[in-house]
A and B are shown apart, each in its own frame.
Chain A
Amino acid sequence: MRTIDVASRSFSVVRVVRVVRVGSALVLGGLVLGACNLPGFGADRGATTQGHSTFHLFQFFAILSIPVLLSVFVPLVYAILRFKRRGDEIPKQTHSHIPIEIVYTVVPIIIIVVLFVFTVRVENKVTAVSAHPNLRVDVTAYQWGWKFYYPSLGITEYTEGNHYPDLVLPENETTTVRLVSSDVVHGFYIPAFDFSRYALPGVTNYFDFTPNQVGSFIGRCSQLCGLYHSEMLFHVSVDTPAGFNAWASSHSSNSKGA
């Protein structure tokens, strides 16, 4: 194990960083293995590899918040029950107690550092953009609809009246989305992927999806964009690579909303 050569080194910052890294990797590994059996606290489990890491991060935060909540509520409830005013005598006038003050400052700092380390790890994973994606989709948001363009296939899907366009993605393959807006700010949001990103006028955004389960999901606009913001929906269909190819060849001829 790596821990052995770490232990043989003299104490240094490097070593501390190592220990934190190895330790957090172990904890994260353990969590990832065990987490699927833990409760999801109402969160979506994330139908992409990226979204699934987000889900685990959420679980981790939720679990850690239980002892934090208890650290406030237990003494609070105890105080409410135990220290009710009984008579007129004046309680001891305590102004401070330095050890306790240090504990309730330092322990949260430690928790925060741990949370931050995990956050950065997941964040790097979720925001990574593959240099060689299997597929590219150009998404344009506008009031109040979406246009999905597959440059390699020549397929275009867009909102037409009450018809919501379909974003078709192959399972277990990495798709890079290129996101722009042609008017105001919109939010490209797929709840089942545990992910959203702004479509900002003047800014081009890239991000990856690697869906890991076949199914159809709903996509929404999350950022207020005017009158029909609530109706700016789309469908997401994740298909097997074979199914995706079949869809692609049947659509590349008539590139329109189905």
Chain B
Amino acid sequence: MAVIDDTVTEHVVPHHAEEPSGFYRWLTSTDHKVIGKNYLYTSLAFFFIAGLMAVLIRTQLFSPNNHFVSPQTYNELFTIHGSMMLYLFAGPFAFGGVANYIIPLQIGAPDMAFPRLNSLSYWLFLTGGITMLLGFLTASGAAAFGWVAYAPLSEATNSPGAGPDLWIVSVALVGFSGIFTAVNLVTTIMYLRAPGLTMFRMPIFTWNMLVTGILILISFPVLTAALILLYADRHFGTHIFTVAGGGVPVLWQNLFWFFGHPEVYILALPYFGMVTEVIPVFSRKPVFGYKGLVFATLAIAGLSTGVWAHHMFTTGTVLLPFFSALSLLIAVPTGIKIYTWVATMWKGSLDFKTPLTFSIGFIVAFTMGGITGVMLAAPPIDFYTHDTYFVVAHFHQVLFGSAVLAGFAGLYYWYPKLTGRMYREGLGKLHFWLIFIGFNVTFLPQYVVGLRGMPRRIAEYAASDGFTFLNRVSTVGAYITAIGFLVFIWNMWISWRRPIPAGDNPWDGHTLEWGTSSPPPSHNFHSLPPIRSQRPVWDANHPEHADYLRPPEPSRFSSRRDEAVVDR
């Protein structure tokens, strides 16, 4: 394979004998690398299951008045598809999988702060995921009230049975798992950084995970509280979300979206972090505007806790200009990120390996989805498009863009680090083109069909509605995407069966994880390079272009504090 290993690795580390070998030891390990991998495999499995549900959804919508699945099954399918994609794939893949594996390496730590808590997180997550799927086996079927579970539809009278209860328990378990992981990540990043790795030398991925962790700690507990109250309503006869007895149904929406909106950035920031690692490495340049990126991340996090009611514009109960203004404002820090990525590529030396290709696909998809998000942030436009396929198209462009395109950019990028092997470049490219085309064919028509008035979450439409053609196109797109993922599975399979050794630093990486062996030894590092800038491994490999050689930039933004970044 034409993978160029142009870096000379200083020390060849013998492959560690102390790594757990047996299946049992693998299951009980508290090594963040083992747990991280478990998270990756499990969340990818959930992604495939949820993707398969999406294929069923699209098949049902292929024709008007279709009876491929019943309305009840259809409602269950999109509920679990959405819930699984968000709670069990996009989140855990990022902060349970990639971050868990990469963060300790990036900051030069031997493990996470609380290894056993980390293991507990994983088991809570797995249990939660299985619990959610078990809903399909109950007599009443799985939950069928959408991933947002609006009360009073989710109350016992309207959604009786065990399926909805299992959904509540499942989301609560996954929520606890997320909170514990966040505690772990935040503590690890604050406490276990290697000497010399100051806050403003942290890689952007680490920064984004720190902020994501904080967002999780802010938002998930509110969801937990809401779920407990909902459960009490269903089983203890309380009246929190029911009109009878003096409860307030719209309270659910407020609590849910106070969680739900930060949640969508919890699902975006880690992926922003991943592409911010990939783009500089494959452009052979430092990330452009590091401080701007940090500032933008903090701004996004701050704003995202104050915009939840943009999901409730049509309730008639919220202060429209306030929530509209804050929502619109999020475009600014997000835009800073987009322009930063493009500027990083500018005048670089672009190596179009699979990770970079996926990252570019992410920029394209995310920019489009973000701009339609800005349209939705205008209440009048939202009155028109709310709960239509326009919204479905918006959030798939940003979510698929982040969790899938950027997520797989990260996966391909760190795959050699995780396994010591190289994936097949050609298959990676094929995977990219199939899913990129498939995804656009799926979701671009949905904007149009949404503007024509097709609501979300409808099991059937009539032939006279004029939705048929666009839905057909969309369904075909979903099939193309599915084929793309078969290529991915094939790629993983072949790389596993006929391994090609990747070397420790195949990409000429910048950050500390590339300064150890692939895969890393059980305590991660035998020795650390000196950390005198944001790119210690780059500095070590390119001493003549080292970052710490550069004079402190004379800008009015850099105060005395920044000079501390340059080592004494």
Residue numbers of A with Cβ under 8 A of B are 41-44, 46, 51, 53-54, 57-58, 61-62, 65, 68-69, 71-73, 75-76, 79-80, 83-98, 100-101, 104-105, 108-109, 112, 115-116, 119-120, 122-123, 126-127, 143, 183-185, 187, 189, 191-192, 194-198, 200-203, 205, 207, 218, 220-231
Contacts and interface: CB of A to CB of B under 8 A. Distances in A.
Nearest to A100: B343
A203 B316 CA distance: 9
Contacts of B316: 197-198, 200, 203, 205, 207
A91 B371 CA distance: 32
A236 to B, nearest CB: 12
A224 B378 contact: no
A183 B151 CA distance: 10
A31 B458 CA distance: 36
A96 B348 CA distance: 13
Q: How large is the interface on B (under 10, 10 to 19, 20 to 34, 35 or more residues)?
A: 35 or more
A87 B284 CA distance: 12
Contact of A224 (B146, B350, B368, B388): B146
B324 A119 contact: yes
Interface string B439-453: 000000001100111
Nearest to A222: B387
Given A116-B324, A195-B384, A93 B550 contact: yes
A43 B384 contact: yes
Closest 6 CB pairs of A and B: A191-B453, A230-B458, A222-B387, A194-B384, A104-B339, A205-B316
Contacts of B460: 230-231
Interface string B372-411: 0011001111011011100000000000000000000000
Contact of A191 (B346, B452, B542, B545): B452
B338 interface: yes
A115 B328 contact: yes
B459 interface: yes
Interface in B410-455: 447-448, 451-453, 455
Nearest to A207: B316
Contacts of A89: 349
B387 A189 contact: yes
A95 B367 contact: no
B381 A54 contact: yes
A80 B356 CA distance: 11
Interface stretch (B106-114, B177-185, B285-293): B285-293
A96 B290 contact: yes
Interface stretch (B242-250, B269-277, B521-529): B242-250
A126 B150 contact: no
A112 B341 CA distance: 21
11 contacts: A83-B346, A96-B289, A112-B331, A184-B158, A189-B388, A202-B248, A220-B455, A224-B150, A227-B71, A228-B71, A230-B455
Contact of A68 (B289, B371, B447): B371
Nearest to B458: A230
B289 A61 contact: no
B387 A108 contact: no
Nearest to B376: A61
A84 to B, nearest CB: 5
Contacts of A192: 453
Nearest to B363: A76
Interface in B446-487: 447-448, 451-453, 455-461, 465
Given A69-B371, A196-B383, A91 B349 contact: yes
A91, A93, A203, A228 interface centre (most CB from chain B within 10 Å): A93
A95 B351 contact: no
Given A183-B152, A184-B158, A119 B379 contact: yes
B232 to A, nearest CB: 19
Nearest to B378: A119
A209 to B, nearest CB: 12
A62 B335 CA distance: 17
B347 interface: yes
A108 B331 contact: yes
A53 B286 contact: no
A145 B152 CA distance: 17
Given A75-B342, A100-B343, A83 B350 contact: yes
A202 B243 contact: yes
Contacts of A65: 371, 374-375
Contacts of B6: 88
A72 B370 CA distance: 12
Nearest to B343: A100
Contact of A201 (B243, B363, B461): B243
Contacts of A112: 328-329, 331-332
A99 B69 CA distance: 57
B281 to A, nearest CB: 12
A226 B457 contact: no
Contact of A76 (B250, B291, B342, B453): B342
Given A61-B378, A96-B292, 15 more contacts: A42-B452, A58-B384, A61-B374, A90-B349, A94-B288, A95-B286, A95-B290, A104-B335, A116-B324, A184-B153, A195-B383, A198-B314, A198-B316, A224-B145, A230-B71
B342 A72 contact: yes
B350 A115 contact: no
Contact of B363 (A72, A97, A183): A72
Nearest to B332: A108
A25 to B, nearest CB: 18
Nearest to B242: A201
Given A54-B383, A229-B458, A198 B555 contact: no
B317 interface: yes
